[in-house]
């Protein structure tokens, strides 16, 4: 799946990937920056709480976004595939200046939204310039390839991860969330061993990757972002790896980036926060 075609003379909307447990009260830097991209207090914000089994998750995020200055915010609780075809909800979504997908279970997102009119509209909106953010499961779902299930641990293994199709806003990254907190380096490496084209983005909690329309990624938040770049891999044993056995990967590049650092998804160049501030 390729990202939706961007109209001539236009820019794709920003894509914001959040590792979960983002600060919502005292210093909600990530959410405030997202809201600014959407138009600040003039933004019409839509919350998609589909990933969560908590029925009031959408309403809770409505309150959060109002607390950071958004006047117009609406939760669209797509719980069934038929919900994703409702003309009234699609009409609200069509007018959004920004869309936020909550955390929960990313398979609820892919199995409920995948292939529906709501999913097609989300892709079209982003191609037309509307910023989209996801936290935790919402972040995992936004790219083309999604980690659906996996195990903890730092060593990649043949049966460590299950992949599923995501929304497809970008095909350049595979995301894993709660990264350091849940010891997920191994499953991100396993996912990349299946598809070395993509770049692995491991998001710590309260940490976000802001991806601009020109594919420049900037880190925002209190934690770290782990970039796993498989473009120079010389050898992978994934094709012959047995279940539960480790996978050999030679030539993987890894970067640990903190607030203000950048990574270019096209040139694959990482720049520290200090160096980025001088540019």
80-82-84-86 Cα dihedral, nearest 10 degrees: -130
Catalytic residue, chosen from 136, 145, 218, 236, is 136
From 62, 110, 145, 178, active-site residue: 178
Encode burial over 49-63: b for 16+ CB neighbours within 10 A, e otherwise: bbbbeeeebbeebbe
Q: Tell me, yes or no, if 205 is annotated catalytic.
A: yes
Q: Using CA atoms of 254, 259, 261, 265 in order, give the dihedral in degrees to the nearest 10.
A: 70
* Helical (H) or strand (E) element with 144: none
Does the annotation mark 178 as catalytic?
yes
Contact at 8 Å (CB) between 138 and 51?
A: yes
Angle at 98 (CA atoms; ends 93, 100), nearest 5 degrees: 85
Interatomic CA distance for residues 250 and 237, integer angstroms: 9
Point out the catalytic residue in the list 22, 144, 205, 218: 205
Catalytic residue set: 136, 178, 205
């Amino acid at each position: 799946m390729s990202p939706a075609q961007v109209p001539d003379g236009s820019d794709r909307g920003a894509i914001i990937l959040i590792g979960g447990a983002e600060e919502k009260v005292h210093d909600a830097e990530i959410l405030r920056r997202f809201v600014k991209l959407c138009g600040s207090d003039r933004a019409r914000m839509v919350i998609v709480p589909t990933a969560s089994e908590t029925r009031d998750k959408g309403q809770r995020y409505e309150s959060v976004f109002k607390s950071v200055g958004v006047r117009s915010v609406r939760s669209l609780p797509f719980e069934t595939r038929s919900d994703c075809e409702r003309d009234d909800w699609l009409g609200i979504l069509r007018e959004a200046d920004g869309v936020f997908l909550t955390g929960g279970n990313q398979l609820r997102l892919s199995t409920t939204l995948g292939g529906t009119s709501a999913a097609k509209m989300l892709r079209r909106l982003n191609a037309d310039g509307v910023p989209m953010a996801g936290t935790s499961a919402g972040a995992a779902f936004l790219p083309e390839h999604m980690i659906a299930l996996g195990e903890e641990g730092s060593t990649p293994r043949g049966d460590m991860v299950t992949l599923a199709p995501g929304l497809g806003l970008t095909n350049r990254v595979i995301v894993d969330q709660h990264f350091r907190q849940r010891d997920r380096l191994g499953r991100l490496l396993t996912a990349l061993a299946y598809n070395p084209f993509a770049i692995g983005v491991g998001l710590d909690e309260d940490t976000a990757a802001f991806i601009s329309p020109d594919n420049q990624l900037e880190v925002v938040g209190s934690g770290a972002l782990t970039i796993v770049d498989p473009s120079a891999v010389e050898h992978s044993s994934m094709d012959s790896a047995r279940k539960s056995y480790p996978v050999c990967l030679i030539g993987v590049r890894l970067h640990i980036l903190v607030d203000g650092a950048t990574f270019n998804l096209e040139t694959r160049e990482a720049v520290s926060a200090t160096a980025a501030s001088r540019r």
